[in-house]
Structure 1
Amino acid sequence: MERRVERRFDVPASNVALKIDTFSGSVRIEASDGNTIEVVVVQSADVTTEAAMDDRLAALDLVMTQQDGTVMLTADYRKYAVFSWKSWPPVALSYEIKVPRRCDVQVFAREGSIVVGSLQGRVVLGNEAGGIFTRDIDGPVTARSKSGEIAITAATGAIDASTASGNITVGRAGSSTRLSSDGGYIELQQASGEVKISGNGSDAKVGFTTPIAYPVDIAVSGGSIMLVVESGGAATFDLRSSMFGKVSVRGAIPLKVTAGKPGRSKLQATLNGGGPVIMARASGGSVVLRGVEPLPEARAENPNGSVGP
């Protein structure tokens, strides 16, 4: 059986924020063009009568408040009722929320997925037993999950993400990036700012855009590292694998080796005269440096249909 709770909050044109703290439930937040925050909470329980549903909801504390431009949602289930139910949670919650496109978002959930659409603002997300996904965020993103995966499509601000066991995938990073996981796969597809990655029992893959302007520090234990670099970039590499692994170089990349050599456990080299230091340590695995050709620059289309500069 389901019950729906719907609320609408008028908010100012600036300094808007949404804060959610829920004991359970999936959360989906999308942007709209208005100056309102629209909230729909679907409450569901495995019961067949209205009286039984009332009984379940009697122990649920769902509070929605507003203070200036900040809307706060909290949901908790009173502890004394926990032992009377055979399964958890007694009431499942699902949040469907629309916010102004420029809005700070803060969500903490104990279980259930968190999905945030394309927004402008600061995004802070925490989840104990569920995944986290964001689309393009014009601002910084902080994400924490114990057992769920984290996927961030893009962010213009600093990214700070960590998991206890889940994978982390970041598409485009427009600023500094800090990622860490214990046992999960870590991937940063396009690094632009300073990068620091740490993993325990984790493999890591990092791709770089040209020009490379900031230092990089990657360290994993019990896993391997792959670096993907455009051949036209400039960087200084300090790469080390475990004594049982090796540092490999793939693709056409004009390296000048200064210490060690490809195929051994250590390689120090410069690319196109050197630049910011890319340091990679794989204590328990190998390191692969792969060179790729840069993408061709787009050319404008002339009015007559031909393509030219």
Structure 2
Amino acid sequence: MKISIRHLVFAGLMSASVLVAHARIERVVEKSFPVSGAGTLRVETQGGGIRVTPAADNVIRVTVTQRINASTEAEADELLKKLELTFEPAGNDLRVVAKYEKKPIGFTWGSWPPVAVDLAVSLPAAYATQLNTSGGAITVGDLLGHAVLRTSGGSIKLGRMGGTVDAHTSGGAITLAAARGRVELKTSGGNIAVGDVQGPAELSTSGGGIKVDNVAGALNAHTSGGSIRAGITGPIKEACTLSTSGGSVTVSVDKSAAFQLDASTSGGGVDASGLTITLESTKRDRSRLAGAVNGGGPLLKLRSSGGGISVRAN
């Protein structure tokens, strides 16, 4: 097949015109809201990320970065007319909304929406947060209030949280440095990594592994696509369940913890080191181990379909 120079030049010009048509222009909007105490920040946006960090004073500062798919400033102005950007203070609470008009029926050219919005907020550390984005990552620094976080297309990264945490994403990893309260983390497309959690933890992923450094309350962790590694500190106060369909399970427990162990795998062996176990059955089974540890107590249930199970005493 022969391609003439003229055709190559024409194709190059067409590519260049497409790039120009998809040039990106940025606009920045900044707002400040003095507050007198703790409150709740609510953010709703599409096509961008959300970042929230603690501030040293009693002022909420919001920086909105608008990324516009436009080739001229005039075109950008026209596209921004269809963006809903509102700031709604109510006492110490603040609601920020950044949404573009609905996608036209039958629209096929380019990406939608043509304006993506990233929000960066600094606020007093005592604030609670309710953050929702359909197209970006969520990052939250060290805050004391409860946090409810939702994203359909990005990762979630959390610092040292003082309240309860409820975080869901359909397309990324979740990391949490620490939490004092109850934790619920769920992702359909990434790993979950947790540091120190003082309350109960519910962790679920369909596409990655789970790693927990230390948890003091009940732990329920499930993955369909990776391994689980967890450390349970102190006595086991409530029933815990760790299960995976695609990897191994490794758990470390306090050597003095009293619990009922029920570990079973169809993809490897079960190993328990440093534990004093009164077995439910005298029959040895490489793929299952069940019995009372240090006299028994709450149930520690471990399941794997794709790897071995290991329980270690610290």
TM-score by length of structure 1 reads 0.86
Deviates more, 1:267-276 or 1:151-160: 267-276
- In structure 2, the partner of 1:107 is 131
- In structure 2, the partner of 1:305 is none
Question: 1:232 offset after TM fit, Å?
Answer: 4.0
Structure 2 residue corresponding to 1:74, chosen from 84, 97, 104: 97
Question: 1:262 offset after TM fit, Å?
Answer: 7.6
Contact 2:46 2:116 in 1 (8 A): no
Measured against aligned partners, the alpha-carbon deviations of 1:117-156 in whole angstroms (never above 9, x if no partner) come to 0011110000101000110010100000011111111111
CA distance in 2, matches of 1:210, 1:221: 28
Q: Does 1:33 align with 2:56?
A: yes
- In structure 2, the partner of 1:171 is 195
- In structure 2, the partner of 1:62 is 85
Q: 1:217 to 1:80 in 2, by over 3 A?
A: closer
- In structure 1, the partner of 2:207 is 183
Question: 1:85 offset after TM fit, Å?
Answer: 5.3
CA distance in 2, matches of 1:135, 1:154: 7
CA distance in 2, matches of 1:213, 1:109: 36
Question: 1:48 offset after TM fit, Å?
Answer: 4.4
Letter in 2 for 1:265: S
Among the aligned pairs, what percent are the same residue? Answer: 33
Deviates more, 1:130-139 or 1:54-63: 54-63
- In structure 1, the partner of 2:12 is none
Question: 1:90 offset after TM fit, Å?
Answer: 1.5
CA distance in 1, matches of 2:103, 2:210: 40
Q: Secondary structure at the match of 2:78?
A: helix
* Higher strand proportion: 1
CA distance in 2, matches of 1:181, 1:29: 24
Structure 2 residue corresponding to 1:278, chosen from 285, 293, 300: 300
Q: Does 1:22 align with 2:29?
A: no
For 1:247-262, list aligned pairs within 5 A.
Answer: 247-250=270-273, 253-259=274-280
TM-score by length of structure 2 reads 0.85
Structure possessing the higher radius of gyration over alpha carbons: 2
After the TM superposition, list the runs of 4 or more consecutive aligned residues in structure 1 that deviate by more than 4 angstroms.
260-263
CA distance in 1, matches of 2:248, 2:85: 46
Deviates more, 1:18-27 or 1:283-292: 283-292
- In structure 1, the partner of 2:121 is 97
Measured against aligned partners, the alpha-carbon deviations of 1:218-277 in whole angstroms (never above 9, x if no partner) come to 2322332111223343333111111x4221235xx1322414678711102444333332
Q: Secondary structure at the match of 1:54?
A: helix
Question: 1:283 offset after TM fit, Å?
Answer: 3.2
Contact 2:49 2:135 in 1 (8 A): yes
Contact 1:45 1:53 in 2 (8 A): yes
CA RMSD of aligned residues (A): 2.1
Question: 1:35 offset after TM fit, Å?
Answer: 2.0
Letter in 2 for 1:289: V
Structure 2 residue corresponding to 1:150, chosen from 158, 174, 180: 174
Letter in 2 for 1:110: S
User: What number of residue pairs does the alignment pair up?
Assistant: 288
